[in-house]
Amino acid sequence: LRKLNLKCIILEKAPRSGGVWYWNCYPGARVDTPEPVYQIPDPELWEGFDFRERYPGRDELCRYFDHVDSKLNFSKDTWYGSKVIGAKWDNEACFWEVKYVRQDKEGGLTEGKVKGRWFIAGIGLSGEIYKPKIEGMELFKGQLVHSAEWPQTGIDLKDKSVAVIGTGASGVQIIQEIAPITSQLTVYQRTPNFCLPMVQRSLSPSENKKKKSDGTYQTAFNKTLTTFAGFPYDFLPQSLFSESFEKREELFQSLMEEGGFGLWLNNYHDVYSDEKANEIVYEFWRDRIRKRIQDENLKEKLAPMKQPHPFGTKRPSLEINYYECFNLPHVDLIDLNENPILKITQEGIKTKDDEKKFDLIILATGFNALTKGMENMNVKNDKDESISDHWSEGVKTTLGMMVNGFPNLFMIYGPQAPSAFGNGPISASIQGNWLGKVFEMVKEKGIVKWETKKDEEEKWTLECREVWGKSLFPNAKSWYQGSNIPGKRVEALNYIGGIPRYIKALDKSLEDGLKAWDIKYDSSENKEERSTTTKVD
């Protein structure tokens, strides 16, 4: 947008850049996407930056944000510490008025407003922290912390007695990092995570240099636009059943040895549409993982003989030594399906069959993802309808980019886009590039209002539901479809038609004289000025 000479303001709740990586500073926080593709695919940015590990940790990711800032200086236009608390569309003037609250130096709160013709919600998918309501939570005398609210100053875990509730990506990372430090670690598990070996390693400056100069980087970035999830690998065209047992085992073994999401996303194409194919992959995974766990009972808890949901339909995490942690004498696991939590007491956690004392309880219980961030911003159109009203009978968007009745409001990395099924920086760049094209037209043609049509929204929503419905993904209780939050509607929250199909749909929407959209042109003389100015009160 800067290249188009548009005046932009970024409102950012955190005191610095990094988004989800700023807040999630818990021990072991790390990205599960391999280098080099967890970054913006722009040589101007990647030429001058070296990741030091194949799967970069949180601090390194923050260092990357600083690097991008040093190149683009986005901080110049960013109002840090400013949380959006409302937005209202003025249909007459064609302007959004965005309300925010900012903490001043004395700790007081100041409210302010920004007026802009265009409003882009780049708020990420982890919209709202989810803390289950557990009786007695307020009584606990030790420290109780959610993984995404970890203090920036850290917590001293040495020789502490710690409980972790939740074994999603955050729980797994925390558990394997803190197990060796704590004096007692109890994991409260509801569903086992089908973790895959990360196979972490360091990267030397010479290796990075070579990969940049010999074309490896560029090839990897090019490839991301052609694969299902924006990774440098993809599903195989052949069916699992077209290959012999030996061939399949050979493939699975090599994918596990290579590390990363290979067994999840570089597998046969029918693993997520055919239950039997899925089961075969699970059995392979299960048998390999069970060999790493000593205790028979724990084998069954962590890698059960019968899979509780189809393999890969809940997000698998990458692990380094997760399973070995459970071989340590001071680490134990409570299966909440057999032994549910009754309450939190002043000293610890009471379950049906036992009671334990803790210094620290960690809630690694995830997020109300994809929809809640938009809903919480209290965005209202000219009819005083909110996004929550509009979605009261289910999420509806066009291309995951716009919502009918809310002109000039765009979303990035939100619902009904590849989001949770797309490598973050790649899918955000795809949407960002599309927005670049949109704003080029806005400038060129003097557009003041851009809105999606109702039938386009219906078409896209139907497509999202259809592709989701044909897969095995609806068979798992997961945040992918909102079933991690009690009372939340269960529905397709992501577009799983794959990145290439998504790019095609985005491109197509800008063809044929923009007839897919309701567009209003400026009738005054000074088109450029009227279309792009951001007014600030």
Q: How far is the CB of 9 from ligand NA7 (least distance, A)?
A: 27
Q: Which is nearer to ligand NA7, 1 or 137 (CB)?
A: 137
In the numeric block, the tokens 């937005």 are attached to 87
Q: Which stretch binds ligand NA7 (CB under 6 A): 69-77, 244-252, 360-368, 526-534?
A: 360-368
Laid out side by side, the sheet with 534-536 consists of: 379-380, 82-90, 95-103, 109-116, 534-536
With CB under 6 A as the contact rule, the residue among 224, 365, 397, 532 that binds ligand NA7 is 365
Helix spans in 215-271 (H): 216-224, 245-258, 262-265
φ/ψ (deg, to 5) at 521: -100, 155
As to burial, measured by CB atoms within 10 angstroms (0-12 exposed, 13-18 middle, 19+ buried), residue 367 is buried
Tell me the closest approach of the beta carbon of residue 207 to ligand NA7, in angstroms: 27
The footprint of ligand NA7 on this chain (CB under 6 A) covers a number of residues equal to 22
Q: Which is nearer to ligand NA7, 121 or 318 (CB)?
A: 318
Structure tokens of 514? 């923009």
CB of 30 to ligand NA7, least distance (A): 11
Residue 334 or 447 with smaller CB distance to ligand NA7 = 334
Which of the 8 DSSP states describes residue 86?
E
Provide CB contacts within 8 A for 200, sequence distance 6+: 53, 54, 55, 259, 320
Q: How far apart are CA 125 and CA 24, in angstroms?
A: 13
Cβ neighbours of residue 256 closer than 8 Å, sequence gap 6 or more? 196, 197, 262, 263, 285, 288
CA–CA separation, 297 and 40 (whole Å): 44
217 vs 367 by CB, closer to ligand NA7? 367
Please list every residue from 229 through 288 that binds ligand NA7, using CB under 6 A.
Answer: none
Contact 4, 443 (CB under 8 A): yes
| Least spacing, CB of residue 369 vs ligand NA7, in Å | 7
Shortest approach of ligand NA7 to residue 272 CB, angstroms?
17
Q: 210, 95, 206, 67: which is closest to 532 by C-alpha?
A: 95
Between residues 386 and 427, which has the closer beta carbon with respect to ligand NA7? Answer: 427
Q: Taking CB under 6 A as the rule, which mask of x and - marks residues 149-168 in contact with ligand NA7?
A: ----------------xxxx
Q: Which of 452, 484, 531, 532 binds ligand NA7 (CB under 6 A)?
A: 484
Beta-bridged to residue 412, according to DSSP, are none
Q: Is 223 exposed, middle or buried (0-12, 13-18, 19+ CB in 10 A)?
A: middle
Q: What are the residues whose beta carbons fall under 8 Å from the beta carbon of 117, sequence distance 6 or more?
A: 94, 95, 96, 408, 448, 531, 532, 533, 534
DSSP string of 161-216, one letter each residue: EEEEE--SHHHHHHHHHHTTT-SEEEEEESS----EE----B--HHHHHHHHHTTH
Instruction: Give the binding range for ligand NA7 (CB under 6 A) out of 1-9, 242-250, 396-404, 477-485.
Output: 477-485
Which residue's CB is nearer to ligand NA7, number 315 or number 449?
315
* Strand partners for 521: 447
Residue type, 484: N
Which tokens is 454 given? 């109702």
For ligand NA7, which residue of 17, 126, 161, 381 counts as binding (CB under 6 A)?
Answer: 126
Closest to ligand NA7 by CB, 177 or 451: 177
Stretch that binds ligand NA7, among 262-270, 359-367, 506-514, 517-525 (CB under 6 A): 359-367
Please report, as residue ranges, which positions from 281 to 320 form the binding site for ligand NA7 (by CB under 6 A).
315
Closest to ligand NA7 by CB, 268 vs 367, is: 367
Q: Which of residues 165-224 bind ligand NA7 (CB under 6 A)?
A: 165-171, 188, 190-191
Query: Cβ closer to ligand NA7: 83 or 131?
Result: 131
| Closer residue to ligand NA7 in complex, CB, 147/408 | 147
Select 363 or 409, whichever has its Cβ closest to ligand NA7.
363
Nearer to ligand NA7, 364 or 448 (CB): 364
CA separation (Å) from 307 to 60, 91, 386, 485? 36, 53, 41, 22
What does the block give as tokens for 485?
Answer: 């939050």
Among 116, 197, 316, 366, binds ligand NA7 (CB under 6 A): 366
Cβ 323 to ligand NA7, closest distance in Å? 16
- Distances in Å between the Cα of 180 and the Cα atoms of 174, 325, 438 are 11, 8, 51
The CB-of-339 to ligand NA7 minimum distance in angstroms stands at: 12
CB of 139 to ligand NA7, least distance (A): 18
Report if residue 356 touches ligand NA7, rule: CB under 6 A. no
The site for ligand NA7 (CB under 6 A) is made up of 126, 132, 147, 165-171, 188, 190-191, 315, 336, 364-367, 477, 479, 484
